[in-house]
Amino acid sequence: MIPVRALALTLAVLAALAGCGKPGSPPVKGPQPEDLPVYQVDSAFRLPDSPTWEKAKRRGHLVVGAKEDQPYMGEKDPASGRYSGFDIEIAKMMSASLGFDPKTIEFKTIASANRETALQNGQIDYYVGTYTINDNRKKQVGFAGPYFMAGQSLLVRKDEKDIKGPEDLAGKKVCSAAGSTPYQRLQKEFPKAVLVAYDTYSVCVDNLLTYQVDAVSTDDSILLGYAAKVPEELKVVGEPFSEEPYGIGVPRSDNALRFALDDALEAQEKNGNWKKAYEATLGLSGEPAPTPPAIDRYPAS
Ligand code: GLU
């Protein structure tokens, strides 16, 4: 049974998360289109060594995997179907560098647990969605980047007093996404936490607001977005306790595409677009733009 107060609170909060606040209440500030950079399409670009690029060229546009429920990173507006956020801007700047008008990108929402399969079976050309580069995943997919460094953190209800860091999670119900690195880390390093897994973090947040779980754990970049939507109900606590370097996922054998995306990231960081895109999206959570991490152009395998 959910307590009545909790239920009323939850309904209000869910409405806020869905972007439909009470009449007269100010809308939650999301990315403003006029603040976003305009990416110059490199129409002369060709990449004949990349089967993924060649297939996209024949199709006429790119198909990009993303998240749709992570405020400031990758979020889909249910009314317009439009995606926005820092990851979406990265996807767009990559598209322009590869010679495709970013307006023509077909975004597909892919959950954390399904990213490798989506890339392996050609459902998407590349993936931009809080995707941590690690050796295990590198056996299945390729990664351009990193383009951002996040860290695992904890989201709790505003009135929570006991949980200040991962060492306080013993006996507590903690929610994370199936197939994610934060889930795996909790399992391995904090085995006394009672783990709950869902496909998406937004379902975890709903569970937190309805008192079904005590904390949500994933990257700080994701949690800050949820906390910013309902600051009177949620807070991020403690210091980040991992390093999560974000990469652009590509089919593993397509080294030409991976190197082209590394080049594109470097160019877009240099010309100021990366910083401008950050400031118009994730920067809204209050964190100033960091220096992007160095690109790791690992050899073709
Ligand atoms: N960056 C972590 C991961 O790639 C957590 C975020 C996510 O699930 O997308 O697993």
| Beta carbons of 131 and 247 less than 8 angstroms apart | yes
Distance 51 CA to ligand 1 centre (A): 27
- Whether the full predicted model's pTM is greater than 0.85, yes or no, is yes
Ligand 1 atom with minimal separation from the 201 CA: 8
C-beta of 70 in contact with ligand 1 (< 6 A): no
- At residue 42, does pLDDT exceed 60? yes
What pLDDT score was predicted for residue 29?
A: 66
Atom of ligand 1 nearest to the CA of 132: 4
Determine whether the shortest distance from the Cβ of 182 to ligand 1 is under 6 A. Answer: yes
pLDDT in tens, 116-152: 999 999 999 999 999 999 999 999 999 999 999 999 9
Q: And the tokens for 84? A: 């926005």
Per-residue pLDDT, 301:
76
Question: Residue whose CA is closest, atom 6 of ligand 1?
Answer: 130
Q: List, for residues 182-223, the tens digit of each pLDDT value.
A: 999 999 999 999 999 999 999 999 999 999 999 999 999 999
Pocket test of ligand 1: the residue of 155, 244, 246, 248 to mutate, having most ligand atoms within 8 Å of its CB, is: 244
Please report the pLDDT score of residue 19 as a whole number: 44
Q: Does residue 3 have a pLDDT over 60?
A: no
Return mean pLDDT, the chain. Answer: 92
Alpha-carbon torsion (81, 98, 89, 138), positive or negative: positive
Separation of 83 CA from ligand 1 center, angstroms? 18
For residue 246, report the distance from its CA to the centre of ligand 1, in Å.
9
SS (H, E, C) the chain: CCCHHHHHHHHHHHHHHCCCCCCCCCCCCCCCHHHCCCCCCCCCCCCCCCHHHHHHHHHCCCEEEECCEECCCEEECCCCCCEECHHHHHHHHHHHHCCCCHHHCEEEECCHHHHHHHHHCCCCCEECCCCECCHHHHCCEEEEEEEEEECEEEEEECCCCCCCCHHHCCCCEEEEECCCHHHHHHHHHCCCCEEEEECCHHHHHHHHHCCCCCEEEEEHHHHHHHHHHCCCCEEEECCCCCCEEEEEEEECCCHHHHHHHHHHHHHHHHCCHHHHHHHHCHHHHCCCCCCCCCCCCCCCC
The pick from 67, 116, 222, 241 for probing ligand 1's pocket by mutation, whose C-beta has the most ligand atoms within 8 angstroms, reads: 222
pLDDT tens digits for range 59-111: 999 999 999 999 999 999 999 999 999 999 999 999 999 999 999 999 999 99
The closest-lying atom of ligand 1 relative to the alpha carbon of residue 246 is 1
pLDDT at 28: 56
112 lines ligand 1 (CB under 6 A): yes
